[in-house]
Structure 1
Amino acid sequence: MYKKILIATDGSEFAGKGVAHGLELARGLGAGVTFLNVSEAFPTLAWGGAMAGYVAADELVNYEESARKYAREVLDKCKAEADAAGISAKSLHIENRTPAEAILDVARSEGSDLIVMASHGRRGLGRLVLGSQTAEVVSLTEIPVLVVR
């Protein structure tokens, strides 16, 4: 049924539920997985002020280095869980993209036949203001999405 599962994670405790579900499904089906972590672009609002060009450049470098380090930690943990379960897995970190765009692009390029991701379940104004990456993936993809709550 599913042979290539894309598991998107931001490393949060909640996203860990999606990782666990995705790994359990992959183990049961004998599927391989690709773990994906996405770091969004440096916030443009941080570029304000008279010394913005100098200060923001340092902040940008720190932001990117921190994002890479965090992604490595998250993805290494996911890969170790997959290895322990005997599941074939690889990891990808995509930088400077919105999570939904990166998830959709990676699903296509990897030939994934299922996307697994967690939904934070925001409602009302929080969903309106923050947007929903999960809702965007669900509405724009052509392959099944398992949303874990």
Structure 2
Amino acid sequence: MIYKKILIATDGSELANRAVAHGLKLAKELKVPVVVVTVTPMWSALEIAHEARLTKANPIESYQGSAAAWAQRILNEADEQAKAVGVNFELVHVPESAPAEGIIATAEKQGCDLIVMASHGRRGLGRLVLGSQANEVLAYSKVPTLIVR
């Protein structure tokens, strides 16, 4: 299969940055554009209540501002990497979403035919406790997914 547009998912971690580099290299070789996406999760009601008890004036607004700044930092790094490699790219921040859902929805919306993302490869209890966004994407996405470990 020849891919025409690649989505690269990143959370800014060292492992995710390796997936970004891998996806960008693949895109350059195939001469296709990429969409780099980062997803900031929803804030739980318990966290909101805790922050409100600490007399924060508007804890939701504070969280949204922090999440947007965090996402911008991650996307700025991807921007630099994509420019250095010389591929056409678009940067997307999906706020307040479950990561796997945001990745899948963005791939579908942007017409991507390959998702590139990292996986820590956890097994056993670590996988059960922490979950696996990569496994969720593999299980629910109709778009083929390349996992970088």
TM over 0.5: yes
Give how far 1:54 is off: 7.5
Query: Which residue of structure 1 aligns with residue 6 of structure 2?
Result: 5
TM-score, with length taken from structure 2? 0.92
CA distance in 2, matches of 1:97, 1:55: 26
Letter in 2 for 1:124: G
Distance 1:21 1:3, change over 3 A: same
CA distance in 1, matches of 2:59, 2:124: 33
Distance 1:102 1:57, change over 3 A: farther
1:29-72, Cα deviation, whole Å (9 max, x unpaired): 001000000000112222446x8478366332222111111111
Query: Which residue of structure 1 aligns with residue 107 of structure 2?
Result: 107
CA distance in 2, matches of 1:48, 1:92: 29
Query: Which residue of structure 2 aligns with residue 83 of structure 1?
Result: 83
RMSD: 1.7
Distance 1:142 1:75, change over 3 A: same
Query: Which residue of structure 1 aligns with residue 22 of structure 2?
Result: 21
Give how far 1:148 is off: 0.3
Identify unmatched segments of 5+ residues in structure 2: none
Query: Which residue of structure 2 aligns with residue 69 of structure 1?
Result: 69
Q: Percent sequence identity over matched residues?
A: 46
Aligned length: 148
Query: Which residue of structure 1 aligns with residue 132 of structure 2?
Result: 132
Query: Which residue of structure 2 aligns with residue 147 of structure 1?
Result: 147
Instruction: State whether residues 52 and 58 of structure 2, in contact with CA within 8 Å, keep that contact through their aligned partners in structure 1.
Output: no
CA distance in 2, matches of 1:4, 1:38: 19
CA distance in 2, matches of 1:88, 1:52: 43
Runs of 4+ that moved beyond 6 A? none
